[in-house]
């Protein structure tokens, strides 16, 4: 049991970044509201959830390809193939300053360039939808509400680096996301968005959905690749990086599903538009999960948004929630740390948020 200040705190708000599955087997206090998309201010841009919100308003099936295409699905892939070319696509991702959403924040274009220029007979791209945090739902919500955003981003990445094989890794205990993705991939193949001669580009792409089962460590990319190979999941020293020697020893780009879902938006709307959203050093938006407030749910926020504004989305004002007051917030789930209320103005990003969390815990 918590003691001292943690015990006396009247309300602790939890915010999470990485997602997993719809944990229907967990107690209601974990699952309640976690598939709810929280309302955000009108001026905040919607990059990741724009199409899923439109689908929800029209009550459309997320795997309905015709409806998704009417909302703009695969416009980015068409532009990459017809106008930009492989090198131009990588250049656009670099100009947008897109960074990985899985935690480390590594520049996506650096991975793509390394994989594209490493000599090899085969190349892979992997969408990491495993979401190691067992009580987080952000990636799962994205996969289930707009699977085509991830599929399109994965196809663009594969085209850009010359990969003929793409894998979407999801949790083995997430049958809803698995079934929805498999249906969406099959529809995309039938329409020619993936498969042989993708969109008439001469590029062949095989895309598969792979449920994987394991522990928290599977969120780390080298461990995930071992699991996909059917081997014991154990992290590896780097270099070489997976982009040089990854799945089956071949160049492999591994990206979080949120990273890939941002790619089509960048290609359609332009790198400058994306770079103008959120933090200058790490532009764009990210999905966060709020729990323990009056309203639990998932929200899309610009990177760099103050934690104060994020917890307010759940109805938790810094001066009090139902009169009880916010004393602290748990940032980043079980591997994160607790921040006191006087640090609520800390911007939400992998670099800026980690510094006060580390100092709170006495880490480095």
- Can you list the domains of the chain with their CATH numbers? 4-46+281-361 (no CATH), 50-275 (3.40.50.11540)
- Cα 1 to Cα 7, 14, 210, 331, distances in angstroms: 8, 18, 39, 20
pLDDT reported for residue 22: 34
pTM of the model: 0.85
Mean pLDDT, the chain, whole residue set: 81
Distance from C-alpha of 243 to C-alpha of 109, rounded to nearest angstrom: 11
Q: For residue range 239-255, list pLDDT tens digits in order.
A: 889 999 999 999 999 99
Helix runs in 97-173, H state only: 108-117, 138-145, 147-161
User: What is the reported pLDDT for 358?
Assistant: 35
**pLDDT tens, residue by residue, 267-326:** 999 999 999 999 888 899 999 888 877 778 888 999 999 988 988 888 765 544 444 567
Look at the block and give the residue holding tokens 């943690």.
6
pLDDT of res. 58: 63
């Amino acid at each position: 049991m918590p003691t001292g200040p943690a015990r006396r705190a009247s309300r602790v708000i939890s915010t999470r970044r990485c997602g997993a599955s719809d944990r229907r087997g967990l107690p209601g206090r974990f699952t309640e509201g976690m598939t709810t998309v929280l309302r955000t201010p009108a001026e905040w841009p919607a990059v990741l959830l724009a199409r899923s919100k439109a689908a929800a308003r029209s009550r459309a099936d997320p795997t309905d390809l015709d409806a998704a295409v009417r909302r703009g699905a695969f416009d980015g892939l068409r532009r990459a193939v017809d106008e930009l070319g492989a090198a131009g696509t990588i250049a656009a991702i670099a100009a947008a300053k897109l960074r990985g959403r899985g935690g480390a924040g590594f520049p996506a274009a650096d991975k793509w360039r390394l994989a594209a220029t490493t000599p090899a007979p085969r190349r892979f791209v992997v969408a990491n939808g495993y979401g190691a945090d067992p009580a987080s739902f952000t990636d799962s919500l994205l996969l289930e509400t707009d699977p085509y955003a991830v599929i399109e981003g994965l196809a663009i990445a594969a085209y850009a680096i010359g990969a003929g094989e793409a894998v979407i890794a999801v949790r083995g205990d997430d049958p809803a996301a698995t079934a929805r993705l498999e249906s969406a991939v099959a529809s995309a193949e039938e329409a020619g968005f993936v498969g042989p001669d993708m969109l008439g580009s001469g590029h062949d792409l095989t895309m598969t959905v792979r449920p994987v089962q394991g522990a928290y460590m599977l969120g780390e990319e080298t461990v995930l690749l071992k699991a996909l190979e059917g081997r014991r999941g154990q992290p590896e020293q780097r270099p070489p990086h997976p982009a040089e020697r990854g799945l089956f020893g071949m160049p492999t780009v591994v990206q979080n599903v949120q990273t890939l879902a941002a790619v089509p938006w960048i290609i359609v709307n332009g790198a400058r538009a994306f770079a103008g959203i959120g933090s200058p050093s790490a532009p764009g938006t990210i999905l966060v999960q709020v729990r323990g407030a009056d309203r639990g749910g998932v929200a899309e926020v610009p990177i760099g948004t103050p934690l104060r504004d994020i917890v307010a989305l759940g109805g938790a004002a810094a001066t009090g929630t139902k009169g009880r007051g916010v004393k602290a917030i748990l940032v980043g789930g079980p591997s994160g740390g607790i921040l006191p209320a006087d640090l609520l103005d800390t911007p939400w990003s992998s670099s800026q948020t980690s510094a006060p969390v580390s100092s709170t815990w006495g880490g480095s």
